[in-house]
Homo-oligomer: A and B are copies of this chain.
Amino acid sequence: MRAVVINCTLKPSPRESSTQALAQVVMRALMERDVEVSEIRAVDLDIKPGVQTDMGGGDEWPRVHDMLLNAEILVIATPTWVGRPSSIAQRVIERMDAMISETDGEGRPVAYNRVAGVLVTGNEDGAHHVISELAGQLGDIGYTIPGQAWTYWHLGPGPGPNYVDTDQGREWSHKTGRAMAANLVAVAEALAARPMGEPPE
Contacts and interface: CB of A to CB of B under 8 A. Distances in A.
A150 interface: yes
> Which of A187, A189, A197, A201: most chain B CB closer than 10 A?
A187
Interface string A145-189: 111111011111110000000000100110110110011001101
A196 B183 contact: yes
A62 interface: no
Copies in the complex: 4
A195 B157 CA distance: 29
Interface in A131-157: 131-133, 135-137, 139-150, 152-157
A138 to B, nearest CB: 8
Nearest to A145: B145
A152 B147 contact: no
> Chain A interface secondary structure, helix, strand, loop or mixed?
mixed
B125 A154 contact: yes
B94 A141 contact: no
B51 A10 contact: yes
Nearest to A172: B158
A2 interface: no
Given A87-B90, A133-B136, A179-B200, 10 more contacts: A29-B200, A49-B86, A82-B94, A83-B129, A87-B88, A111-B147, A114-B147, A154-B156, A182-B199, A182-B200
Interface of A: 10-12, 29, 43, 49-51, 81-88, 90-91, 93-94, 96-97, 109, 111-112, 114, 124-129, 131-133, 135-137, 139-150, 152-158, 169, 172-173, 175-176, 178-179, 182-183, 186-187, 189-191, 193-197, 199-201
